[in-house]
Amino acid sequence: MRAEPRDHAIGRSRGGLSTKIHQLVDGRGLPLVVLVGAGQAGDSPMFPVLMDHLRVARRGPGRPRSRPDRVRGDKAYSSRATRHHLRSRGIVAVIPEPSDQRGHRKRRGARGGRPVGYDYDDYKGRNVVERGFNETKQWRGLATRYDKLALTYRGGVVLRAITLWLKATTP
């Protein structure tokens, strides 16, 4: 059984005390992996943890898939560590480069490396990720965080993921 984090996944961000939901979604916006963390926690450091938890069952026999074909992410995931992690696993990164990183790279000249390349048309499909988050946050209990314990709150997030999957698979 997992232990309750000391901070109960509540952290101080710009808007006050909050909890951040981290999730990986499939091509339809349905959650595959859900984790909760403190509100001030960044997205990029949680990415390897999310990828380690990814398991998608195959239709036939065999081990579950743990490596997607591509990852669509926003500029928060545009770090060298994330790109290296994806490249080492043979996953295509569809992540734009923020303007500040572009400026740093250009200032370093030849030592700054090559510009980040990504498929702009493929990135347009990233709205599915945002819609998946919006669907998850429609529950009032998740939006307001009434639960004291992080394990209970994560249970609510997982329950919401289950209902989204059931809604998508029922005719």
Write the pLDDT tens digit of every residue in 38-73. Answer: 888 788 888 999 999 999 888 889 999 899 999 998
C-alpha of 62 from chain center: 26
Residue 92's nearest CA partner among 110, 68, 58, 112 is 68
Write the pLDDT tens digit of every residue in 125-156. Answer: 888 888 888 888 888 878 888 888 888 888 99
The pairing of strands 70-72 and 92-94 is: parallel
Concatenating the DSSP letter of every residue in 12-66 gives EETTEEEEEEEEEE-TTS-EEEEEEEETT--SGGGHHHHHHH--B--SSSSPPB-
The answer to whether the beta carbons of residues 132 and 23 sit under 8 Å apart is: yes
Answering whether pTM is above 0.85, one says no
* φ, ψ (nearest 5 deg) of residue 94: -110, 75
Domain 11-169, CATH 3.30.420 — does that match? yes
C-alpha of 14 from chain center: 20
Residue-range domain boundaries for the chain: 11-169
The answer to whether the beta carbons of residues 46 and 21 sit under 8 Å apart is: no
- Mean pLDDT score, 101-111: 82
Collapsing DSSP to helix, strand or coil, 72 comes out as strand
